[in-house]
Amino acid sequence: MAAEGLAPIRFVTSRIEDAERLVALRIEAMRDSLTRLGRFDPQRARDRFLDGFKPETCELVLSGERIVGFVVVKPGDQGLLLDHLYIAPSHQGLGIGAVVLQRVFERADAEGLRVTVGALRGSNANRFYARHGFVQTHEAEWDIYYRRDISKNLKYVRDSRMANTLDQDSHQDGGDTSGMTDDQNAQDDAPTRFSRQPIRSFVLRQGRMSDAQKRYMDELLPRYAIPYQEAVLDTAATFGRKAPVVLEIGCGMGDTTVKIASIRPETDFIGIEVHGPGVGNLCKLIDEHKLTNLRVMQHDATEVVRDMLAPDSLAGIHVYFPDPWPKKRHHKRRILQPAFVAQLASRLAPGGYLHCATDWEEYAQFMLETLSAEPLLQNTAADYAEKPDYRPLTKFEARGLRLGHGVWDLVFKRV
Using alpha carbons, select from 218, 216, 123, 219 the residue that is nearest to residue 171: 123
Strands (E), 203-267: 245-249
The Cα–Cα gap between 162 and 177 comes to: 13
Number of CB atoms found within 10 A of residue 250's CB = 21
Give the three-state DSSP class for 14. Answer: coil
- Contact predicate 341/355, CB 8 Å: no
Find out whether 357 and 321 touch, Cβ atoms under 8 Å.
Answer: yes
Q: Single out the catalytic residue among 323, 359, 383, 409.
A: 323
Phi, psi of 140 (to 5 degrees): -125, -175
Residues in the chain: 415
What residues pair up with 163 in beta bridges, in sequence order? none
Q: What does the alpha-carbon distance between residue 162 and residue 316 come to, in Å, rounded to a whole number? A: 39
Identify residue 76 by its one-letter amino acid code.
Answer: G
CA–CA separation, 46 and 27 (whole Å): 7
Question: What backbone phi and psi angles, to 5 degrees, belong to 58?
Answer: -110, 130
Evaluate whether 167 touches 127 at the Cβ level (below 8 Å): yes
Told to judge if 300 belongs to the known catalytic residues of this protein, a careful annotator would answer no
- Integer-rounded Cα Rg, in Å, for the chain is 22
Phi and psi of 61, rounded to 5°? -100, 115
How does 129-160 read in b/e, with b if 16+ C-beta sit within 10 Å?
Answer: bbbbbbbeeeeeeebbebbbbebeeeebeeee
Strands 314-320 and 294-297: unpaired
Concatenating the DSSP letter of every residue in 171-197 gives -TTT-B-----TT-GGGSS--TTT---
In whole angstroms, give the CA distance from residue 317 to residue 412.
10
Point out the residues that are catalytic: 323
